[in-house]
Amino acid sequence: MAAATDTISFSRGAPSLDIVDIEGLKAATVAAFDKDPARIAGYGTSVGYPPLREWIADKHGVAVDQVLVTNGSMQADAFLFDALVTPETPVIVERPTYDRTLLGLRNRRGDLHPIGLESDGLDVAALEEALKGGLRPKLAHIIPNFQNPAGVTLSAAKRTRLLELATEYGFTIFEDDPYLDIRFRGESLPTMLSLDTQGSVVFASSFSKTVCPGLRTGYLVGPTNLIGKIASMATNTYIAPNMLAQATIFQFAVSGALETSIHNVRKALAERADALAAALSRHLPDAEFTVPDGGYFLWVDLGPEVDVHKLLPAAQERGVQVVKGTDFVLEGGEHSLRLAYSAVPADRVDEGVRRLAAAIEDCKLFVAIS
């Protein structure tokens, strides 16, 4: 048994260093300096490093002027929210959803309407009900693949229906899709962006999950007018995003290293997700969860007797870090956790869950004694 001081963290949605291709990135940076020194050194343009912008447009089959490459996809979210959300703007969010997005929308004082998730993604029938009841959202924030934190994926049928509703009720779907390429089981589903014929979708993704977070490169794809407006906001905020990082990502992609990296990440994450599911079944047989087909996260419901506010310090004491469910909802979440398996090598997962189970027992014991 490892010492409890050697903490195992299921908290951060980041890849462990062993699945980041440092040598490949180093070679890509050198190639970038050798091939395009003027554009790496210069101010650049707010829409991003032009060859990477073209590569992204090609990947998604859109016009180049529909793409804006940013300093990470959180920055893309921030620009989009600044463009579309003012106080009282009605916004649909998933329940649960990514805590940082929720905070970004709350900070802009959007009027948030949470819609629950099912095992095949957003409860679109409940959304339709709300729309029929008079709700007129401007924006719906949807994480379609391997949702953060729930791990579920929006079905093909629901994607189509959601687009129909967006057209009918005139709202924009913000398809927030950083995990698109991190599917390790089953067939990929088409993005709503690719199905959209009405300009209803703004799509965001990132290289944080497929390359690494430290290069802080994400992007938006959307209607030309909106992208142009956001490009002006970007110029006024920072002139241009990071040219060195974006040129490095571009060289990494065209060299083939990106494809290899995605393959390796998928393989490692499949092992980690399976190890986590097995460990949960072994140490916490009453816990409820869905085994994910991709992405970084697993959402686990621990039942009404577990209060995550008490569990977190007990888990920390036992040497395991998790994120409490309450961070991902406006109300509720007291009995749930988000477990990120992206950063925990498969051979450490079982020990992590064993510690978590012990921490849950500590809490129950404490309740029984007190």
- Cβ at position 211, least distance to a second copy in Å: 9
Question: Judged by CB, which is closer to a second copy: 78, or 163?
Answer: 78
In DSSP notation, 178-189 reads TTTT-B-SSPPP
One residue of 167, 237, 290, 316 binding a second copy per CB under 8 A: 237
Cβ 183 to a second copy, closest distance in Å?
22
CB of 246 to a second copy, least distance (A): 9
Q: Interface with a second copy includes 20 (CB under 8 A)?
A: yes
What is the distance between the alpha carbons of residues 229 and 251, in angstroms, rounded to a whole number?
A: 28
Q: Is the dihedral of CA 227, 229, 233, 235 positive or negative?
A: positive
Told to check if 295 binds a second copy by CB under 8 A, we report no
Decide if residue 97 touches a second copy (CB under 8 A). no
Tokens of 283: 């140490």
What letter does residue 261 receive in the DSSP assignment? H
Structure tokens at 325: 């469910």
- For residue 362, give every residue at least 6 positions away whose Cβ sits within 8 Å of its Cβ, in sequence order, or none: 314, 317, 318
SS3 238: helix
The sign one gets for the Cα dihedral 282, 288, 293, 297 is: negative
Least Cα distance to 211 among 166, 143, 163, 258 occurs for 258
Specify the 3-state DSSP secondary structure of 190: coil
Does 33 bind a second copy (CB under 8 A)? Our answer is yes
Q: Is 26 an interacting residue with respect to a second copy (CB under 8 A)?
A: yes
Question: Is the Cβ of residue 237 or residue 264 nearer to a second copy in the bound state?
Answer: 237
The answer to whether residue 258 forms part of the interface with a second copy (CB under 8 A) is no
The correct pick among 42, 116, 303, 313 for binding a second copy (CB under 8 A) is 42
| 262 scored as a contact of a second copy (CB under 8 A) | no
Mapped onto helix, strand or coil, the DSSP state of residue 139 is strand
Q: Does 240 bind a second copy (CB under 8 A)?
A: yes
Q: Which helix (H) or strand (E) holds 225?
A: helix 224-238
Contact window for a second copy (CB under 8 A) among 12-20, 169-177, 254-262, 332-340: 12-20
DSSP symbols for 79-119:
HHHHHH--TT-EEEEEES--HHHHHHHHHTT-EEEEEEEET
Of the ranges 39-47, 56-64, 300-308, 313-321, which one interacts with a second copy (CB under 8 A)? 39-47
Site for a second copy in 193-212 (CB under 8 A): 208, 212
> By the criterion CB under 8 A, which residues form the site for a second copy?
12, 14-15, 17, 20, 22, 25-26, 29-30, 33-34, 37-44, 71-72, 74-75, 78, 100, 103-104, 107, 208, 212-216, 236-245, 248
